[in-house]
């Protein structure tokens, strides 16, 4: 999602954002603007963030956005170095009408493979709220292992999970 789509969305102009994106955008996107706001701030302060920024998950046969996926930063941010050098942290959200249909798993697998193939990323982090059972199931199914618990200033208690490069090797063979 480019800066124009993000700005239009943040301003509540979903029709304009949808035209820019080339797909319908559900109003549910506006229910949690912290992701888009964080993404916009990152894009304004770090020119290298664009490839890691928010991406719309679009269901092609319906031409509708069903969620969002992003990396929280460029590779190797200071806050992840306690877990692994060169790591990136993944975040995703599937809109309620499209949950439990496999879109999150398909998307996460695709962006992990993209980061591994294009940027040689071998370590991935995902932070999950203890109450988010579907995300726990997803990351466990992909081989993530719990390494920590942290108190996030926005989201509260989160469990931190890591995945190493074995995922990429398995997916490409």
What domains lie within the chain, and their CATH numbers? 51-172 (3.40.630.30)
Output the pLDDT for position 171. Answer: 54
Residue 156 class from Cβ within 10 Å (0-12 exposed, 13-18 middle, 19+ buried)? exposed
On the CB side of 22, how many CA atoms lie within 13 Å of its CA? 9
Per-residue pLDDT of the chain (173 residues; tens, 9 = 90+): 888 999 999 999 999 999 999 999 999 998 888 888 888 899 889 989 999 999 999 999 999 999 999 999 999 999 999 999 999 999 999 999 999 999 999 999 999 999 999 999 999 999 999 999 999 999 999 999 999 999 988 778 999 999 987 555 555 44
* Residue 97, both tokens: 């009408």
CA–CA dist 110, 93 (Å, integer): 15
CA–CA dist 152, 129 (Å, integer): 10
* Residue 131, both tokens: 């109450």
Cα-Cα-Cα-Cα torsion 81, 33, 10, 73, nearest 10 degrees, comes to 10
CA–CA dist 25, 19 (Å, integer): 9
Cα-Cα-Cα-Cα torsion 167, 88, 54, 67, nearest 10 degrees, comes to 40
CA–CA dist 50, 40 (Å, integer): 10
């Amino acid at each position: 999602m480019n800066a124009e789509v993000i700005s239009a969305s943040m301003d509540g102009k979903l029709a304009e954002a949808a035209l820019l994106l080339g797909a319908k955008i559900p109003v549910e996107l506006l229910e949690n603007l912290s992701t888009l706001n964080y993404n916009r701030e990152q894009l304004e302060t770090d020119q290298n963030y664009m490839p890691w920024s928010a991406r719309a998950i679009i269901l092609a046969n319906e031409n509708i956005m069903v969620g969002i996926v992003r990396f929280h930063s460029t590779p190797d941010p200071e806050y992840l170095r306690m877990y692994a050098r060169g790591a990136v942290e993944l975040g995703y959200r599937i809109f309620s009408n499209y949950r439990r249909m496999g879109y999150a798993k398909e998307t996460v697998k695709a962006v992990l493979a993209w980061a591994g193939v294009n940027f040689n990323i071998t370590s991935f982090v995902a932070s999950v709220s203890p109450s988010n059972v579907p995300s726990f199931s997803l990351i466990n199914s992909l081989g993530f292992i719990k390494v920590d618990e942290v108190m996030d200033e926005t989201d509260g208690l989160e469990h931190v999970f890591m995945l190493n490069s074995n995922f990429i090797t398995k997916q490409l063979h």
